[in-house]
Structures are given as C-alpha cells and as structure tokens.
A and B are shown apart, each in its own frame.
Chain A
C-alpha cells in the first residue's frame, strides 16, 4: 500500500502551532452555487459521508457535503466537561417505543462535521469474517452480499489513515496495527489483572488515538474526555482525518444545512439534487449523484420524508425495507469496587478489550456473542449507574463519594437484526414541519441471553481482579442498519456497492447499510464500507454519471 500521506494528507494539513483548525484551508474552501450541478453531493459529514467526500474529491470530482450541524473548531467549541458537551449530540425531537425502547441523543447520535465519531470512545475493531455470513453459519441475522476479504484492504487503509494503535490482534482475522498500544490507566490495569487471573486473553487497543508522531496531530494527553470531543486532535474523527484532505482537493463542506428532501425526476426516476434549509432559507442544490450518510435514524427518515408520486411510500421503499433491521448493541456496564483508588477518569475510556466471547460457542444456548471493553464513566454518567441501583438522597451522595474506588467494564452484545425494529414517521413534526423519526425496538430471547452472559463474565473479571462488590447497569450502544445492503431489492435498500436498488444515481454510505453488527464498535467498518463504495463508484462511472 502506498504511503498514507500520499493517499490522505489530512494530518499534515492541520496546523502545528497548537491551534486545532487550519482556518486558512476553510477560508479558501471552494464554494459551489445551488444552480451548479455538482458531480456528487453528500448528505451528512460523519464516518461514511466524509470518507466518500475525501475519496471523490481526490479523484477530481466536483463534490459538496451538506451537514445539518456546525463545522466544529475543537479549540473554541468543545470543552473538557460533561454537561457542557450537550451540543455534540443530535437532539432534535424523536419518539422511541417497543418493549425495549432505545434512548437516543447523547447515547448514540452525533451532530456536525465529524458526526458521531466526534464523541465516540475511539475503539476501532474490525468485524470478524463470521459477521459477514451469520445466517449461513448460525441461521441468525443475515449474510452480507460481500465477504470479509472484500473489505480487508479498506480496513487496512483506514487503520493507517486514522491511525489505530493497539497490540497485535489475535481474534477474527488476526492482524497488527500501525501504532503500538497506549499505556493503560487504572481501569485498564484492573481489566488486565482480572483477565490474567482467569487465564483470559485481553489486549490493549485498538483505539484510533495517535500514539507517537502522525503529521501535525498531537499526542494523547490522557485527560479522559474522549466522549466530549477531543480538544487535542489526538482521537480520530473525520473532522481531522478526512475533511482537511477533501477541502485541499476542492470539496466544499456546507455546514448548518439541514437536508429535508431528495428530489426525484418523475420521468427518468433519477435523483436531481436535494432540498435543504440554511439559516431559515430553503434552497435546492443540483447534483448528478446523491449520497445519503445521515446514519441509521436520519437516513431512513429522509428517505421516508422524500416520498413522491413515483415512490408514494417513501423513496426506495417499494418493498417496505426502509427503516427495517435497525440494530443496537446490548451494552451492559458492570463496575467493581476496590479499596485502592482506580480513578478511572485518568486515561482515555477506551483502553483494553477482549473478543474471546465474540463467536458462537456451540456449548452455549445462544448464538453469536459479545466483546468486553473498558469504559470509564465520568461523574454524571457514573451517577446514572448509582441511581440505577435505586439509591437516592443521602444514599446516593454517600455512594457517589466512593467514585475513585470503582473500575468499570462495558460489553457489546450482538443483538440480532429483526424486521420490526425499525424507523417510521411519527405524527410529531420538527421545527421545519417535517415528521420526526419514530424508532421502535424490542429484544429477542437471544439478545437477552447475551446480556446476562456478558454481565456474568464482567463480574468474574472484576472479582478476579479483587473487587469486593459489583453493580451492573443495562444500556444500549451504537446504531447500525435501517437501510441495509442485500443481494436483491426485496431484502434490502442498497446493493453491495451501496447503490440504492430503486434510484440508479442515489447511494447510501453510512452505518445504516450494515446487515449485521458483530460485537464490534461500528465506526471503522462504516468507513471501510464507504471507502470501498467510493472506489467502486470512481472506477465504474464516468464523473457524475
């Protein structure tokens, strides 16, 4: 593979003077008019959208990306503070239901250029080869129209571009990382100690946090606020890993532009551009190719809100597939209490993980599995743990004063794709007058069994490390699916190239196309899938065709 700087110069385009933004680059950014037909327009500047933008800009396409949120400046806009980071989340109204409704907002929804990767923990594991064929192997979930070897080169490319630090990885397709693992803090130390006593393999990483020198990105300072946006530019997000290079190659990023509808030409059946609102004013941007990358809630919502005469039930929804098979991971967190001071806030929350329980174990009554990782809740999030045990008043205060003694692990359980876990439109409207997303979620028995199994393993690890008490809170993490990739239009919304079955010049390149999720954090896979789609698009089409 070629030198990473020759493929993506983002890290070298950032300033080396302690400022976190190359303001000149943004100031000199190319700007298109609404009436210009750009070669390709991207809706949403998160993991998938930014990757597309950078790849296509490099290939010489005229590209613009619209994002509903701000074009962040980490120095000016982000703080080293939990409550003060509320603006990082997508907090427009949404309705949740089902037997296990999934809270959105701060839990899993990003906003602005960089998307959810602005506030993700920074874990970037690959999916395992088995994730691409869970139906064939285990009769659950779905098979992808592509397999792991198809995606492998894009994983490798992305691990260099973020770049990822971690120990040699023994699980799935064994591989190594471009940067050595970070030193661990108290929480990682506890995990490694407990795993060692149990004879369980745990490894440091993989995290997309610079360890060493990489362009003008600064080294991590271990301040523990990864989930509040990295003010250091150490933790990767597309804002610093792909957007600078895209701008340098002529892309425009139009922030604070809320896309409201994809326009379809009724005669040709092709997308002609998008309607969007900026500063309260409606606009229409023409484009030869449209790429949606609004993630698992907003992408289906936009498709459904783009209903027209040709697609009366929602764009690309002829077979009632839009919004379906949306997945979250079961993410119970178990904490253990030590007389020693762990002070888990003093290091990045992502430190150590194990994928020893990732694959189906024939001896177990459930299919698929879970991974376990360090999580290190800050005080407000920790208070949720304590309050979830039923404590309030003086009990809560006393319990909270014990914060420095606790270590906390989190599991990611592979919840299975189910057709009725889906986004539909609510009767409630947002401030633009558009129906908001209604997200219904219910667990199946396999999901619940994985939650219990993961909790039990985390308790074992913490007890083995010397914990005298353990507590658990049941949570959910991540979103994928909702416009999944499939071999035919009756089973999904896009094909293996991320092109929608229904509209030949409309693509979806975000987490919503993933048919399964494994027990891995999804960011790296979303980027790899987008990078592959970009390469296919560049190699098979003439520009804008």
Chain B
C-alpha cells in the first residue's frame, strides 16, 4: 500500500469492545472445542487448487470479504485454505445445477474465466491486478445477474463464490467476535434470552444506531 493511500475505513471493527469469543472456550464441550480451535491454528495445506488457481482464489475471496487491505498485524482468515479443504474432501452440498459442473470443477472453471477477463481488460493476471481492477472485474460478474458469463449463468457463479467464501469467513471465531456472536453454547446454554438481554460475558454494541442500510440511504444517524 502506498503511503499516500489513507488507511481503510473499517466501520465493522470495534463495535463490541473487549469481546473475544475465545475467552469463553473453556465453557465449550471438547468435541466442539476441537472443531473450532482447529480453525485458529495453522491453516490446512492447499491440496485441491493449483498454485495459479490459489493465487486467483485468494485475491477473489479476500476481495469478497473485504480482507484485501486488512492492516497488519490483524491476521486474515485463511479463506482459500478452508475452501480448498472442502473441495479436496468433497465436503460439498452434493447437488449441482444441471447447467453447471459440480462445485470443484465450477471453482476451477470460474477462476480461469476471471483470470481471462483480467488479461483481456488489464493485460495482467487477476492476482496481479490492482485492488481497484480486481474489484471492478468482480463487480462486472455480479452485474451480469441472470445473464451468461463465460458459458455459465453469472448469478449461479456469484452464489458459488459467496456461499463458500462466507461459510469460511463466518466459521472463524475472529468473525464471531467482530459481530458480537457468542459462538458455541454447549453445555452452558443461555440464561438471558430476550430483547436487549445479555449474558454476563456478552458485550453491548458500542454503536447501536449504526444501521448500515440507513447510512447508505442518507438518513441521519
């Protein structure tokens, strides 16, 4: 990042001051703890994607979840490693549209198509494009809606990318802390359910009136 670029605005950060869901991990059952803490350890090795695909997928997924300009030292969620593991183990939902290949092949085909778009428009592979260029290429896919994109229905491609990327990101405890979600709740459960009721370990939103939609429509916050 050049020194002239201002630091990115991160309005999602710091809404639940001091809340870290991992502080509660001693209250989780051992099976759940094992599954969740594995995501905070070393990222699984890449087994499904080729190095070339990995580069495109990393840039794409980091853009989709706003991680591309994450300031260090905040560690990124290793989205592509988590997606790669699912595809390598065929941990998919099983179904596929009759006009789409199964998920693994669909990922390969669409990463390749995205790279082709980048070369055509910017004379550079997708991974090497600037952040703005990457964003405009991604936006172009979304904008095609139900129309065709490289022989596939763009809407289904968009759904494939966002489904996998969101599942990977919001499976991570750091994402839960960011949104104030309390994570696993067994065997303890909850004692204070209800509007505006908190458990002793939960933290109120510091900016409760920051409705993102309201802001976008220019309504006064």
Q: Which residues in A have some Cβ–Cβ distance to B below 8 Å?
A: 75-84, 86, 89-97, 101, 103-107, 109, 183-186, 189-190, 220-225, 231-232, 337-343, 345-347, 378-380, 382-384, 387, 390, 392-405, 438, 468-469, 471
Contact with A along B170-181 (1 / 0, CB 8 A): 110001101111
Q: Given A93-B102, A393-B66, does the pair A469, B195 have CB atoms closer than 8 Å?
A: no
Question: Does B175 lie within 8 Å of A93, measured CB to CB?
Answer: no
Q: Are A341 and B63 in contact (CB under 8 A)?
A: no
Of the residues A80, A340, A397, contact of B196 by C-beta under 8 Å: A340
Q: Which of A91, A109, A405, A438 contacts B211 (CB 8 A)?
A: A405
30 A-B interface contacts by CB (under 8 A) = A77-B31, A80-B183, A80-B184, A91-B91, A97-B97, A103-B95, A105-B92, A105-B93, A105-B94, A106-B93, A184-B194, A185-B190, A220-B189, A221-B187, A225-B186, A231-B29, A337-B211, A339-B208, A339-B209, A346-B197, A347-B193, A379-B181, A380-B166, A380-B167, A380-B170, A393-B64, A396-B64, A401-B12, A401-B13, A468-B211
Known: A96-B96, A186-B196, A397-B12. 11 other contacts (CB 8 A): A80-B185, A92-B94, A93-B95, A93-B102, A109-B94, A183-B193, A186-B197, A221-B190, A338-B195, A341-B195, A392-B63
B50 vs chain A, min Cβ distance (A): 23
Majority-rule SS of B interface residues: loop
Which residues of the other chain, B, contact A405 by a CB distance below 8 angstroms?
A: 205, 208, 211
Point out the residue from B93, B196, B213 that lies within 8 Å of A341, measured CB to CB.
B196
Residue numbers in A under 8 Å from B167 (CB-CB): 83, 380, 383
Per-residue interface assignment for chain B, residues 192 to 215, with 1 indicating a CB less than 8 Å from any chain A CB and 0 otherwise: 111111110010110011111110
Please, which residues of chain A bring their CB within 8 A of the CB of B41? none
Q: Is the CB of B171 within 8 A of A96?
A: no
Which residues of B have CB within 8 Å of A396? Answer: 64-66, 166
CA distance A318 to B8 in the complex (A): 66
Chain B residues with Cβ under 8 A from A75's Cβ? 29, 31
* A345 and B171 form a contact (CB under 8 A): no
Contacts of A337 in B (CB 8 A): 211, 213
Give B contacts to A, CB under 8 Å.
Answer: 8-13, 15, 28-29, 31-32, 35-36, 63-66, 91-99, 102, 135, 138, 142, 162-163, 166-171, 175-176, 178-199, 202, 204-205, 208-214
- Note all chain B residues with C-beta closer than 8 A to A97: 97-99
A399 & B185 in contact (Cβ 8 Å cutoff): no
CB distance from B6 to the nearest CB of A (A): 14
Contact residues in A for B29 (Cβ distance below 8 Å): 75, 79-80, 231
Chain A residues with CB below 8 A from B15, complex form: 401
Q: In the complex, A92 Cα to B99 Cα: how many Å?
A: 18
CB-CB under 8 A from A224, the residues of chain B are 185, 190
**Partner of A190 from B36, B195, B209, B214 at Cβ < 8 Å:** B195
Name the one of A83, A101, A400 contacting B171, with C-beta atoms under 8 angstroms.
Answer: A83
The CA of A448 and the CA of B28, in the complex, are separated in Å by 43
Per a CB cutoff under 8 Å, which of A92, A185, A400 touches B179? A400
A contact residues around B163 at 8 Å (CB): 384, 387
**In the complex, residue of chain B having the shortest beta-carbon distance to the beta carbon of A400:** B179
The answer to whether A90 touches B94, judged by C-beta atoms less than 8 angstroms apart, is: yes
- Indicate the member of A84, A107, A224, A347 with the most B CB atoms within 10 Å: A84
| Docked pose: A91 CA to B191 CA in angstroms | 35
- State whether B28 touches A80 (Cβ < 8 A): yes
- A189 contact set on B, CB distance < 8 A: 194-195
Given A190-B195, A337-B213, A401-B12, are A81 and B32 neighbors across the interface (CB < 8 Å)? yes
Residues A89 and B212 in contact, CB atoms below 8 Å apart: no
A81 touches B212 (CB 8 A): no
Q: How far is the CB of A355 from chain B (nearest CB, A)?
A: 24
- State how many angstroms separate the Cβ of B22 from the closest Cβ of chain A: 14
B193 touches A392 (CB 8 A): no
Residues of B within 8 A of A106 (CB): 93
- The answer on a CB contact under 8 Å between B212 and A398 is yes
CA distance A185 to B63 in the complex (A): 36
A222 touches B93 (CB 8 A): no
Please name the residue on chain B nearest to A378 by beta carbon.
Answer: B181
- What distance in Å separates the Cβ of A393 from its nearest Cβ neighbour in chain B? 5
| With contact pairs A189-B195, A398-B12 given, residues A223 and B95 touching in the complex (Cβ less than 8 Å) | no
B185 neighbours in A (Cβ, 8 Å):
80, 221, 223-225
- The docked-state distance in angstroms from the alpha carbon of A185 to that of B163 is 28
Q: Do A91 and B66 have beta carbons less than 8 Å apart?
A: no
Cβ distance B158 to chain A, nearest Cβ, rounded Å = 9
